[in-house]
A and B are shown apart, each in its own frame.
Chain A
Amino acid sequence: MLILECPYCGVKAEETELHGGGEAHLVRRGPDSSDDAFESYLFQRQNPKGVHFERWRHAYGCGKWFHAARCTATLEVFGTYSAQVSEPPQQIRDRIAARRPGWSWSDQG
């Protein structure tokens, strides 16, 4: 059972206090988008074995959504960070690159 530190209130919350929200950094597609772009936004997900960026809500705590960078294979958490960004901050990317040599955000983003 995971522990994630909520970056908003600083609580190290366990999974039962959290609500998972799926893949992070999706770009919303609105009324002008093509069928393909909209389908991709609604349904296409990365599902990698390895580094993954996710949305979580501290549902039983401060109620804030946040982002987590996590390895889906080892469950290592590289860090949690604000929900109000459209891509992972440099600090998180550096930490992942240090732990997973060869990894880069451009492969994902």
Chain B
Amino acid sequence: MSEPVSALSNASFDGLVHVQEAGLHGMIALRGDLDSEALQSAVTNSAGVGVPAPRTVVFDGARGAAWMSPDELLVFCPYPEAGATLAQLTDALGGAHALAVDVSDARAVFEVRGPRMREVIAKLAPVDMSAAAFQPGTIRRTRFAQVAAAVWLVDDAEARIVCFRSVAPYMFALLCTAAAPGGEVGMF
């Protein structure tokens, strides 16, 4: 057995904001009928949270779920528990038509923290990052410069970004560039 390593081994940067590759997270892509009882109870039992409303995330500690599309969730759990959570989900779904796959290793998670979090993100994503338009708990799938990503706010000073693992170095460099000192915008 070897020690699993995340894409950038928790690399971090301090500039206009604190940027951190947030290490390994258990992540399960779940596709199915989000309105079905079978799926809802499977999610509640294995993820420990209910099915989130469209464009939102719900978290209870390290466990949670993010709404990714009308028929897809991203279920979160501690990394070592991903296998067990997947098995539990698959069991609970039983014969229902659904697809659950472990994507913990296919993704990278970044943390962007600090009062200028919104403007750093607004340099990279074509999204209205104003407090009125983007509140904690909302998730938005979009692009960061040239790669796909999902972003949500933990609170008013911290955002989480999920992208593909292969572009983690690109994402980290993007965030560091956008957070370089001297680049304050002062819009929000």
| Contact, chains A and B (beta carbon distance below 8 A) | yes
Residues of A within 8 A of B (CB): 8-11, 13-14, 16-17, 59-64
Residues of B within 8 A of A (CB): 54-55, 68-70, 72, 126, 140-143, 148
Additional 18 contacts, C-beta under 8 A, given A9-B69, A60-B141, A62-B141: A8-B70, A9-B70, A9-B141, A10-B54, A10-B55, A11-B140, A16-B143, A61-B69, A61-B140, A61-B141, A62-B68, A62-B69, A62-B70, A62-B72, A63-B69, A63-B72, A64-B69, A64-B70
Please tell me if the beta carbons of A17 and B69 are within 8 angstroms of each other in the complex.
Answer: no
Q: How far is the CA of A10 from the CA of B69 in the complex (A)?
A: 10
Which of these, B55, B72, B143, contacts A11 with CB under 8 Å?
Answer: B55
Main secondary structure of the interface of B (DSSP, over half): strand
Please tell me if the beta carbons of A17 and B68 are within 8 angstroms of each other in the complex.
Answer: no
Max count, chain A CB within 10 A of own CB: residue among B140, B141, B148: B141
Please tell me if the beta carbons of A17 and B54 are within 8 angstroms of each other in the complex.
Answer: no
Tell me, rounded to whole Å, the shortest Cβ–Cβ distance linking B164 to chain A. Answer: 12
- List of 4 A-B pairs having minimum Cβ-Cβ separation, nearest first: A62-B69, A60-B143, A61-B141, A14-B126
Please tell me if the beta carbons of B69 and A16 are within 8 angstroms of each other in the complex.
Answer: no
Q: What residues of chain A lie closer than 8 Å to B142, measured between beta carbons?
A: 13, 17, 60-61
Known pairs A9-B70, A60-B142, A60-B148; A16 contacts B126 (CB<8 A): yes
11 A/B residue pairs, CB under 8 Å, sorted by A? A9-B54, A9-B141, A11-B141, A16-B126, A17-B126, A59-B148, A60-B141, A61-B140, A61-B142, A62-B72, A63-B72
Tell me, rounded to whole Å, the shortest Cβ–Cβ distance linking A92 to chain B. Answer: 20
Tell me, rounded to whole Å, the shortest Cβ–Cβ distance linking A90 to chain B. Answer: 22
Which of these, A8, A10, A17, contacts B143 with CB under 8 Å?
Answer: A17
Q: What residues of chain A lie closer than 8 Å to B148, measured between beta carbons?
A: 59-60
Tell me, rounded to whole Å, the shortest Cβ–Cβ distance linking B65 to chain A. Answer: 15
